[in-house]
Structure formats: C-alpha cells, structure tokens
Structure 1
Amino acid sequence: MTKNILVTGAAGFIGAAVSKALLARGDSVIGIDNLNDYYQVSLKRDRLKDVAENAAGRFRFVEADFADRAALGQAVAGQDFDTILHLGAQAGVRYSLQNPHAYVESNIMGHLNMLELARHRDSMPMVYASSSSVYGGNDKVPFAVDDRVDHPLSLYAATKKADELMSETYAHLYRMPLTGLRFFTVYGPWGRPDMMMWIFTSKILAGQPIPVFNHGDMFRDFTFIDDIVAGVIACLDNPPADDGMLKPGGSTKPHAIYNIGNNQSERLMRVIGLLEDACGRKAEIEMLPMQAGDVPRTFANIDAIAADLGYAPTTSVDVGVARFVDWYRQYHAV
C-alpha cells in the first residue's frame, strides 16, 4: 500500500536520499526545507532536482521553516499525509559553538512544532532524527540505546537529547507512535560539505593539508547512505506499538529509539588511507589537538534495530569511500 509522507529536511543529505527511495517504490512525498545557507544552497537545490527527476509528479516541495509555527501551518494546510519523517535540523557539532541560537530554534522549537503537528493529525506516527552525539564521552563501546546519555559534550547533542525527552512525553500523553534514530557518521554521494569525508576529499584533490584532530587517534562508525535509507524506511513501515511492552531505548510507551550505524568503528587514519587510494594522491596531514565538543570514538550497537526490523548494513568503508569519491569527482567535474 502506497503512502503519502511528509519529509522535513527534504533538501538535506539524508532527507533527499530517503525521499528518492520512497518515490522509487511508489510513495508520494511532501518535502519541506527552509534552504538555509549553513552550507551552499546550490547543493540543496541540486539534490531536490535529483529527487524530482523520476518522481512522476508525486513529489511536492515547499520552501518553509518548520521552526516557524505559522509558516509550517501554512505549508501543510490542505495537505493530506499518512506519516511524518522529521529529518530537518540544524546539524553540526562544531557550528553549535558559534551559533547556539540556531540549534535551539531549529532542533527544539522546530521539533516541538512537528510533535504538535503530528498530535493534531490524530497522533499520527512520526520518525525523527536524533544523533550518536547524545552518547557524549561514553567510555563503554559499542554504544547501546539503553546506555545513559545525560552528559552531552556539545549543545547540538543536548538539543538532540531534548528531542528524545519531548518525544517520550508526547508518546505518554497522546499515545503517538514515535521513533527516534541515532545516526552514526553518515557519508556517501550527495553528502554534506561540513563533514569529514567531503572536507578531506576536497583538500586531498586540491593538494591542501587536511586537519586531523586528536592527532589522528579518532574512531568513527562510518555508515553509508544506502544503509541509512534502508533503516529509516524500515522504521517508517513499522511504527512502535502501544502495547505496554518495553521498547528499544527503555520506554513502555509507543516510543522506540534505535542506533543506525555500520556496527564497525574504523580508525580515522585507515579511512584517510582509503581516501588517498580513491583520490590517487597522498594527503598532507596537519595533526591537531581534540576540538571542543568532539568525541574520540563512536561505535553503534545495532542489536535493537536488527532484532526488531531486520536492519543489516551491507556497505563497508572500503566500498563506500570509493563510491563517495567517484560521485564527488563527477559532481565537481574533477
């Protein structure tokens, strides 16, 4: 049965990729994005063009800011949809040190607006983006959804934890089926220019030094975009039941929290080596101390989403890094 799905952040990296996959299977998508200039708007417009290319008229895009309650109401007025995929947010750990108000406006006020929208649409199901950043400096690895996450190291992480808490409240008060997804270092074609994979690729190809923090002693659970899309769609298709049973994340309400990662923590220096191979040149490395708000290691325990929804990532960094670099070269005609 096909669905009509409201997607926030539709011009973003994950939002565009999921929208394209939903359309490919026959669903209809109403996309919302404010097209802010956190990074180049031209990339966001190119993503939207790519999404709409084979949509057969089933993709409708509205430029609007969901953190503006009136603008959101106007954007969805008269629009019918079955479920909500709320991926829009102000992203980035380091930028939250420079512009904290943007995070509170988008990630807290915006999330509240989306919860209220779902509530007033008969408490319809909503899947929303959280982040692996909520784990902070957790020493226990891999990170599991029932680990304590009350020591965030950045405002970005704090806002994402706040989203989970607000969602728990709404699931309790209004019995809304809600699913929060803690994404782990997503990369791949159409990725974000503020993320390591894009930054390092652009600098290596240009012969410029790459900034390597914590003197290279960093590990990340790099997750290819196709695997992320598969997990998100599985969650959209399987909202948590209001049966009083314990959900992933520790809730007995219709609120589940899942990690979506590759279940493999990769040493950063090994990934740099893969980028060098794909780019065909050695990187000039500038070793730097750890940045404020950053964490030395991420590693996703995906047992919950694997058991409940059959999630199983299939793309290793050995394959995914080369695919990203190929796309980057093609997109920039390098």
Structure 2
Amino acid sequence: MAFDVEVPLIAAPMAGGPSTPELVAAVNGAGGLGFLAAGYRTVGATLEQIRRTRELTERPFGVNLFVPAPPSDPGPVAAYRERLQPEAERWGVELPTEIRADRDDWDAKLDALLREPVAYVSYTFGLPGRDEADALRAAGIRQLGTVTSPEEARDATALGLDSLVVQGPEAGGHRGTHRTEDVPGTLPLLQLLAAVREVTSLPLVAAGGLGDGTAIAAALRTGASAAQLGTAYLRTDESGATATHRRALVELPETTVTRAFTGRPARALRNAFIARHEAYAPAAYPEVHYLTQPLRAAAAQRNDPAGMHLWAGTAHALAREGGAAEVTRGLWGDALRAG
C-alpha cells in the first residue's frame, strides 16, 4: 500500500480527546497523514469529526476503530468496584453498579463509513470480520490492522488488509493486543518489526516510543514504510490533551503498563492511582473503563494528575510544543539528518 503522503509520518489516533480535526489537518498540511480516533465516540460524533476534518484539509486522512470485545466475567469487575468504592466516596462520585454491554457503535460506524468513505481505516483491539473487511475494501477504503506480535500479523495478513501498524511495547496508551486477556509482548519495536517482517510482505508502520528523528530514522531503516507518532503530538497547539496531561509529560518521569484504568494494558505516566490499584485490576474491557470513568473525570476536574489516566509513551519527555505542522516538519528534518 502506497500512502498518499510526502512525509512518512502518521499522527496516531488517540481516543478520548487528544486527536482532533485540527491536529489531523495540521499534520496533513505538513505532508504527513492524520488519523481521527472514533473510539468512545458515537457514530454521530464520529461523522461530525469526519465532516469537520474535510472542511480543514483536502488531503486524505484516516479513522481508527476499536474492535469490540466479548463481555467480561462480572465477578472480578464487581470485586474491583468494591476496592474503588472508598475512593469514590472520598471524592463524592457514584460508581456504576451495572455496566452495559458495549460495542462502541461498531456496526453503525462501519455503515457510516460505507456511506461516507475515508481514505484509510485502522483497527485496534482486533480485526474485523471477513465480510466487514471485504465491504470496506469494495468501498475503496484502505485498511490497516494494529498488531503486537507475529501471530497477530499473520491473522491480519490472511484477512487481506493493506498494511500493518506494528505497535511496540514503548507505545503510549492502550496496547493493541487482539484479546483483552493477552499479556502484551516486551520485544522492543525494532526487533518486533523484524519479527513481523518474517511473516508478512505487507507494508509496515512502526509505532511506539518514536519521539525524535533518530528513532524515526532507525524504524524506517528497519523496514517500516512510515512511522506513527502519538505522544509526540500531545503538547502541540492542535492537540485536545488537557493542560494537566501536557504538564505531566514533562513533570512525571516514569511510565508503566497498567490495567488499573480500563482493564486493558495501557502505558501511562506512573501515578498514585496506578500504585494503589494496579495489582487488583481485572482483565475486563471496556467494563473497567466505564467503572473508573467517574473517578478519572473527578480527578481531571480537580486538575489532579495523581488520579488521571495520563497515557504516554516512553519518549514522552521529548514531546514538543508548537504547531503540529511545525513539529512534523521538525521531526522529519531531524530524521533525514539522522539518515
């Protein structure tokens, strides 16, 4: 798959607010490729963002979808709720007692994209069904599967996807494992790229901890067709990240992979919430996401980084301020010089 870009840098889809139409358009304007994040958005809100992005850029862009997971065992979720209850009482918030089954508007989003196709669709947390992938392909949409292992890469290749986003353990936010209960691998990105290349001939996008030109150049030398960056854009003018999150990227020194906030492994800046609850969080997504949502919202309202989910990759300290187009051009210039 040939990306319609002058600069092989992709703005990663960051669900929950950081990815915006303005960020996508700015990266596109610098010659790269921006992705919207449809995760946690209704189909109506997703279409609104797509239409707004089209107003801001004439260049191709992508949309990322969360593949729905089967329901989790309610027992461990209930036990985790009991553990969190004193904290909820302390901050005056109500934790949900029943968490509805949630497919993140999956079917409606696929239908909407068939009606109003975008250039690219990427998948996180698994793969679409064959009929679903075939339908999007027939609509002219190029499809990327997020993979964290050679085994997942084989499955995505067999499905006939156009490209693979190879996500290393250095990545911020959720690990894209295809099953909630899977323990994500620890093979560093460059080694993972080489391992995936052994099982597929599809174009590869490198993702995870790519915070400067040297890292980007190394990923491209290892065989990636493009580099995907998320944390690198969190402090840009067009990012939807909160002021607290932006400050924490430079103030908190360490990241860790945790299930404490959502029930899925995700790399975040280490804070007090993780220290208290990581050992007790079940592998249950999206149930834990909805369970902890009131606590996280209350922490955000207090501007309290100790209780927020502060997704960040291992290169978070390198994230630059300024316009996203300027950041894109700077990173690519540094990558060219690093060779």
**TM, length-normalised to structure 2:** 0.32
Greater relative contact order structure (CA < 8 Å, 6+ sep): 2
**TM, length-normalised to structure 1:** 0.33
